[in-house]
Chains A and B, each alone.
Chain A
């Protein structure tokens, strides 16, 4: 790959990675583990593979549009954006930075799958005295919890 092409690819990767999640703007789609690949196709077009989080997540199409716009803004031309279903997205793909950003924003990050679940810490006061109010929340990826210490309700990322 020429230096020029490499430079273009790097700019594209940077632009794609920085696209925020429309529902939770403090995390990027890269932090959520939605970006599977960014590459230069044989015809010179930037190609982006995205993994949707939930089958019915209404934000998926908006995210694909915003990825396309970001690549164009970075001067890398109009990209092809593919939605790749397999392997299926899991909350284990959320990066440590993403988890930290979620917690700072007031959303308790998901527990790693396949491990015994520890206590869910209140993202506001850090207490372990928390309980689930509802297994479903305001978006497909969240459940409703509350803290018995500080009495504040909070969102928790569902473990998928």
Chain B
């Protein structure tokens, strides 16, 4: 089926960004299904992926309603190309080893927990309602990923080495969490989006507390990655979409 083109108002663009980040993060986590180092983690990562998929679906449904052209959540997830995806770059990086996945999920949960807490006060009532559910789910994810971060950092020489490597690779991607462009500004102005600047102190406090417990230090990044908000992605997103969208592209409109 041909790629769809979505005419994005700032509001629609903003909701799509949140949906895209949740979906891509969910997809990367779901890749662990059957491959996690132990059965309990297989269950845990699949469960976190399922929560995020649920959040993505609610957000896409909301985006489709805002667009008002009768499109479905599936159209938005399966029929857009990489440059139309506006997810955070950190979500699309390949799953790496278990330490990489844990560090990524800790960073994302430490940001999204206070983010969704604030978004409960959004003037967009649907977004506020989604935030009310997401906030509770992400609190649980943070507890789980954070506990593993401490265990890995404070574990064996090998687990520590891998955790440090993951932290150093991923830290430059955290700048994007706080990036505000024209869309973001308009949404903050309208009371629809929380200002990520108000999320930062909580995020940093959580990360510093966990790192201290893990015996690790916060990396210093000379520069921060950017691009996701403009649809400029790493080479990895295209491959991810080729897998994720394959069925709908090969068998347009397939249902079961």
Residues of A within 8 A of B (CB): 52, 54-58, 85-90, 133-138, 140, 144, 158, 160
B137 touches which of A55, A58, A133 (Cβ 8 Å): A55
Tell which of A56, A58, A89, A138 has the most Cβ of chain B within 10 Å: A56
Residues of B with Cβ closer than 8 Å to A?
40, 43-44, 46-48, 50-55, 57-58, 125-126, 128-130, 132-137, 140, 143-144
Chain B residue at smallest Cβ distance from A138:
B43
Pair A136/B133 contact, Cβ less than 8 Å: no
- Check B53–A135 contact: CB distance below 8 A: no
Closest B-chain residue to A134, C-beta based?
B40
A158 contacts across to B, CB distance below 8 A: 140
Alpha-carbon distance between A88 and B136 when the two chains are bound, in angstroms: 9
Decide: A86 and B129 in contact? CB cutoff 8 A: yes
| Cβ-defined contact, A144 with B134, below 8 A | no
Nearest first, the 4 A-B pairs at minimum CB distance are A56-B54, A55-B54, A86-B129, A134-B40
Secondary structure class of chain B's binding surface, majority of residues: helix
Q: Say whether A56 contacts B43, CB under 8 Å.
A: no
- Considering the complex, give the chain A residue whose CB is closest to the CB of B51: A56
Sample (23) of A-B pairs whose CB atoms are under 8 Å apart: A52-B133, A54-B50, A55-B54, A55-B55, A55-B58, A55-B133, A56-B53, A85-B58, A85-B126, A86-B128, A86-B129, A86-B132, A133-B40, A134-B40, A134-B43, A135-B140, A136-B43, A136-B44, A136-B48, A137-B47, A140-B50, A140-B51, A160-B140
| B126 nearest CB neighbor, chain A only | A85
Closest Cβ of chain A to B228, distance in Å, is 22
Q: A134-B43, A136-B144, A144-B40 are in contact. Are A54 and B129 (CB under 8 A)?
A: no
Separation of A64 and B137 alpha carbons in the complex (Å):
22
Residues of B within 8 A of A134 (CB): 40, 43-44
Task: Please give, as numbers and ranges, the residues of chain B lying within 8 Å of A89 by CB-CB distance.
Answer: 133
